[in-house]
Structure 1
Amino acid sequence: MAKRIIAIWLLATVGLYAQNTGEDELGAWYMYFGMNRISERFSIHTEAQFRFYETTDSFNQLLLRTGLNYHINPNAIVTGGYAFIDTDPTFESDEILINNISEHRIFQQFIMTNKVWELLFEHRYRLEQRFITIENENSPFFERNTEHRARYRLQVMLPLTDTFFLNFYDEIFINLQNSIFDQNRLYFAGGVHVTENASLQVGFLKNHFNNRNFDRLQIGFFYNPDLRGIFKKKAKDDG
């Protein structure tokens, strides 16, 4: 009888845990990306992402990223940068244990683009050094880890008109320690060029981990102003 009660309790606990991951919910990522050209060879990358387990509720993650781009030529860019990530890994707010995860990340990146017929291909290679702190609110102690990760993303964009386009990408994340596979992201979206330097994309992301899959609505705003005129004017005024 006691063994049966323990077995039932274990099944209920496992079921509750699985239910609380938010895996069955349609979450949302609200994103901003910017590439601000400051000279012929250099531009500044800016990025902010607000990620939720549900479309407008249950905060999951804040990501802020910036970097300096060096344009080797019109089809190749190398980047070095920094990101801060604040994560709440719990779907339910009334969890007994809540771990708050913060991460400081350094990354190096290479992007290469090419065109085949009307299809615009982009290959993005990224290395990340991740400095992660895990805080348990029921304990005064912190757990700190350093991890390394490699990422490759293949993106294909198809212009439909001068205004509308389709965008697809698949990105794989590879750990450089412990278990090799980290995650894979499959994405499809429709987009519109709002102005010459701004566009909006609305799409769907399938985020696959080793034992979980998350479906995410994505709304992204891209703004790439050319600031070279401002910097030239400032240099002239200073001179």
Structure 2
Amino acid sequence: MKVKLVFLILSFCLIEAKAQGIIKDYNNIGWYGYFGDHKLSRKFGLHTEYQWRRTHFITAWQQSLARASVNYKITEDLSFALGYTFVETYPYGDYPSTKEPYPENRIYQDLKFKIPFWKFEFENRLRLEQRFIAKLTDSTGHKITGWDYRNRIRYQLKVEFAVKGNTIDAKEPYLTAYDEIFIRFGGNTGKNCFDQNRLFIGLGYKFTKDFKFEGGYFFQLSKHQNKEKNTGKYVYEYNKGFIVSLYYDIDFRKREGE
């Protein structure tokens, strides 16, 4: 189902490109991040995250993103999260969507479902986002004059493959990959529903049960919300590069004597 959905959306993008023409903007990017899922009790946890997103691989800003959520474990394989994200987006590329950096506040809800199978673990993540994007005017520079409200839904399918044995244990490498589709919806979206698609293929290493590393190739196809002013065409970003991520989890229950 996931593959069919991505195929249909990307096919629509190709049809649109042939029908009315688009502007292609190619960028080299590097995303560097920290992620942590910390246990507070048997059912509740805290997620923390920071991503340092760069263009020209590392020399210039693309985005700065900080995220936190409260997680609730429904079953061993099913969980729900309610969280907040702060994003600062910078002008980049040949056709930047903004002239000045602008902030964005998001409230989001996650539903995750894991499916272990042989050497694989599949993780399905459905995310709803309520986005509050700052409006800036040329005359005021960095001054915020208002906020645009937008809705977005995201679906990610991630897979991890154990290289040794049937599970990924400490001091073992593993393979990992994911694909994530982003769809805009709501009153101010119109027909411009496709937002972006992300593809990652990489290698991981689990140092301990609480600490691991992942790195690999990343491709992002992103469509601007509004048409380019001079040509009246939509800009599609073809961003490729790599992701480097560290994962470190803390079990706070130990301090409570659980």
- TM > 0.5 fold call: yes
Shorter-chain TM range is 0.7 to 0.9
CA contact (8 A) 2:38 2:250 kept: yes
Matches within 5 A, 1:20-59: 23-24=26-27, 26-59=28-61
Cα pair distance change 1:201/1:141, threshold 3 Å? closer
Q: Name the SS for the 2:92 alignment partner.
A: coil
Q: Which moved more, 1:129-138 or 1:62-71?
A: 129-138
* 1:192 and 2:177 matched: no
CA contact (8 A) 2:55 2:92 kept: no
Cα pair distance change 1:91/1:136, threshold 3 Å? farther
Q: Which residue is 2:18 aligned to?
A: none
Cα pair distance change 1:53/1:138, threshold 3 Å? farther
Query: Per-residue deviation at 1:27?
Result: 1.4
Query: Per-residue deviation at 1:232?
Result: 3.7
Q: Which residue is 1:181 aligned to?
A: 194
Which is higher, the Rg of structure 1 or of structure 2? 1
CA contact (8 A) 1:36 1:45 kept: yes
* 1:160 and 2:159 matched: no
* 1:147 and 2:156 matched: no
Q: Which residue is 1:108 aligned to?
A: 109
Query: Per-residue deviation at 1:138?
Result: 4.2
Segments of structure 1 that go 5 or more residues without pairing to the other structure are 1-17, 234-239
Cα pair distance change 1:98/1:225, threshold 3 Å? same
CA contact (8 A) 1:99 1:134 kept: no
Q: Which residue is 1:12 aligned to?
A: none
Query: Per-residue deviation at 1:143?
Result: 4.7
CA contact (8 A) 1:132 1:145 kept: yes
Q: Which residue is 1:11 aligned to?
A: none
Distance 1:195 1:115 in 2: 20
Distance 1:138 1:168 in 2: 44
* 1:216 and 2:241 matched: yes
Aligned residue pairs, count: 210
Query: Per-residue deviation at 1:102?
Result: 0.5
Cα pair distance change 1:190/1:165, threshold 3 Å? same
Query: Per-residue deviation at 1:132?
Result: 0.5
Query: Per-residue deviation at 1:186?
Result: 0.7
CA contact (8 A) 2:200 2:219 kept: yes
* 1:203 and 2:216 matched: yes
Q: Deviations over 1:50-88 (max 9, x none)?
A: 000122211111000000000111101100010100110
Query: Per-residue deviation at 1:144?
Result: 2.1
Q: Which moved more, 1:61-70 or 1:171-180?
A: 171-180
Runs (4 or more) in structure 1 with deviation over 4 Å come to none
CA contact (8 A) 1:100 1:136 kept: no
TM-score of the superposition, structure 1-length normalised? 0.82
Q: Which residue is 1:78 aligned to?
A: 80
Query: Per-residue deviation at 1:137?
Result: 5.6
Aligned AA (1:80): L
Aligned AA (2:197): N
Distance 1:223 1:141 in 2: 36
Identity of aligned residues (%): 30
Query: Per-residue deviation at 1:100?
Result: 1.8
Q: Name the SS for the 1:230 alignment partner.
A: helix
CA contact (8 A) 1:100 1:135 kept: no
